[in-house]
Structure formats: C-alpha cells, structure tokens
Homo-oligomer: A and B are copies of this chain.
Amino acid sequence: MITVYGMAMSGNCYKLRLLLEQLGRDYRWVEVDSARGETRTAEFLAKNPNGKVPLVELEDGRVLVESNAILCWLAEGTGYLPSDAWQKAQALSWMFFEQYSHEPYIAVARFIRGWTPADSPRRADLPRLRERGHQALAVMERHLGESGWFSGPAYGIADVALFAYTHCAADGGFDLAAYPHIDAWLARVRGTPGFVPMPDLDDEAKARLALVD
C-alpha cells in the first residue's frame, strides 16, 4: 500500500486524496503540517529535499513528489488520463498552467489569508496575486465556454488539478460570480463518481479567513 504524506487543508494534497478515492485505491495518509514547519525537519528533508508535500512513498521506500506528477502516475492506464498522445499533452498543458499561472496566485492568496498573521507583511502582495489569479480564471472560463473538461473529452486529472484550488478560491478573496462556466464545471466535478470534498479547515484558519482585507 502507498503512503501519502500530506496536509489535509492543502489543495495540492487534496488532489491526491480525491483521485485515490475515485480510483478506489487503498492508501495510508500521514498528516504533515507544512504551515508549522513539519516539511522542514531533517527527517522530512531526507525524503524530499525540496521540503514540500504531497509526497508518495512506496513500501520499498521509493518516493515521488510534485502533486501533478503523482496524479499522472496514479492515473496511468486509467480513464482519468487520455491515452491519445495529443489529448494527453493537452491535459498536461493544463496541469503545467495550474502550477505556473494559477496556483502561485490563487493558492498563495488563500495561504496568506488563512495561514499568516493578520499583520503579516505578505498581505501587501494580495492585490497583485488577485490580479494575476483573475487572469488565470479568465483563461479557464474561456476554455470552459468551448469544452466541458480540461482533461480531454471526459473528466480526468487536469480537472482534479484545477479543481483543487479553484473550488476554494473564495478563501483567497476571489469572487467567482463573474465566471459562470467555471461555476458549472465545479458542479460537474462535484457530481463525478466517488467525489470527496476537501477536508474542513481548522478553527484557526477559518477565523483568519473570516477577516476582511
């Protein structure tokens, strides 16, 4: 059985939980609180020198890091990754888009609002992050005006990757009201077989996210 080292409230980690549940795969979950430095211990850095979760460990000790690479590995040979080379490349393209043009703005805005102190100097970054995050949402909205999914003709791992932080974009201060196609797609993802929601936030994060900024 594989072991996932992850932080339940992290969208990057939730990606794996969602796909593993939909695949019906057995797995062990080890909670690692990156917001409290648990990915920076010597023990964790020995597993991933880049100090990040999620991380998958096999029974023989081999590890794989980077959420979207893990999704590709888990989905190999299943319907969640297109077998056609061009469609597979399009799914990968959206996954690289997610990590480069989406997550650094939408997920990071959420992190700053929910996991840094109310007087953190990082809050000064929020206007810039919102501007860039809305650019990413606009790109998604345009695609969804023409296609039902990001993974090709059916739901798959590019949808998993983009759902992870888009569905909780409001935590970062993003209003999705201007994106009706995204709203409909979020509902379609929630309706896929075996869908599980992201675990609830803890009270501390909830209280911080309730602050106005």
Q: Using a CB–CB distance below 8 Å, which chain A residues touch chain B? A: 49-50, 62, 64-70, 72-73, 76-77, 85-86, 88-90, 92-93, 95-97, 99-101, 103-104, 135-136, 138-139, 142-143
Contacts and interface: CB of A to CB of B under 8 A. Distances in A.
A105 to B, nearest CB: 12
Contact of A73 (B68, B70, B89): B89
Contacts of A85: 73, 76-77
Contacts of A101: 50
Contact of A62 (B67, B86, B138, B142): B86
Contacts of A68: 92, 96
Contacts of A100: 66, 99-100, 103-104
Q: Is the interface of A mostly helix, strand, loop or mixed?
A: helix
B89 A72 contact: yes
A100 B174 CA distance: 22
Nearest to A143: B49
A69 B143 CA distance: 17
B49 A142 contact: yes
Nearest to A103: B100
A165 B43 CA distance: 30
A64 to B, nearest CB: 6
**Which of A95, A99, A104, A136 counts the most chain B CB atoms within 10 A?**
A99
B76 A93 contact: no
A73 to B, nearest CB: 4
A90 B55 CA distance: 12
